[in-house]
Amino acid sequence: MANIDKVRNFKIFIREVKNMRVKHILLPLKKLITISADDTLGHALQLIEDNGYLSLPVLEGEELLGVLSKQFIFERFFYGEESDRDIYLQRSVRELMVTKLPVIKENALIEQAAEKFFLQKLRFLPVVNEEGKFIGIVTQKEIFKKFVKIFGLRDIRIVVGTFDFKGRLAKLTEVISKSGGNIGSIIQMDTEVMGIQEVVLRIKMEKPDQLPKLLRRLQDNGFLVRDVETEEEQERSK
């Protein structure tokens, strides 16, 4: 019964990962620190620095007009014609804010949000509902926090090789379960060498001294154990 529960819990975990949406990690509108288009650059910069941000959304009521970044404020002053900092900071946010912003829908997968961050080098992503109404933002920090949790980056890391991932997945999870292991995540990658699939597992052992037994059972069942890193080894490599 214990082994059945472990397999069931793993299936629930996989389902939760597949259903992880942007709406689950967004910072809602009511909690945002925002600026208006008519604020001065000085006021905006003070808010950005006081709160440790890199940029802030520009709103008019609940409508998103654009974004203003600390970097852009400094760059425009450095490369611009105005030499008096105080006069420059009296200019309005409207003059410098970026208005063409990519957005993401609240029901998008967090992987889709991560891809947008990667491809477009964004500081945050505005989130809209199905009607296109702005409802909050999602940040890189929240995306990374969620991936760390999903992939169990503090658990034991085991890399195994196999020739048939789909056909061997059931056996792999069975061996781990019977050896006292709980799977946190599984990532499969094609090595493009002789059809070998590399499987990266994150595992928690009920008893740490059971790890050698698990590795032996994996090998006995035809899995090539290519790498193993315990939590302690991962900490030392940081």
Query: What's the CATH number of domain 17-148, 3.10.580.10, 3.30.590.10, 3.40.1190.20, 3.30.750.24?
Result: 3.10.580.10
Nearest to 131 by CA among 63, 228, 79: 63
| Beta carbons within 10 angstroms of residue 155's beta carbon | 21
- In the chain, CATH 3.30.70.260 sits at 152-236
Predicted TM-score (pTM) of this structure: 0.62
Mind listing the pLDDT tens digit for each residue in 61-104? 889 999 999 999 999 998 888 889 999 999 999 999 999 889 99
Average pLDDT over the chain reads: 84
Instruction: From 185, 199, 189, 176, select the one nearest 152 (Cα to Cα).
Output: 185
Rounded percentage of the chain residues whose pLDDT exceeds 70: 84
- Residue 165: predicted pLDDT: 64
Nearest to 66 by CA among 41, 98, 93, 38: 98
Tell me which residue has tokens 């942007």. Answer: 22
Portions of the chain given CATH number 3.10.580.10: 17-148
Q: How far apart are CA 123 and CA 138, in angstroms?
A: 9
Residues 6+ positions from 40 with CB-CB distance below 8 Å: 89, 90, 91, 92, 93
CATH of domain 152-236: 3.30.70.260
pLDDT digits (tens, 9 = 90+) for 187-222: 887 777 776 788 888 888 888 889 999 999 999 998
**Radius of gyration, CA atoms only, the chain:** 24
Average pLDDT over residues 157-167: 80
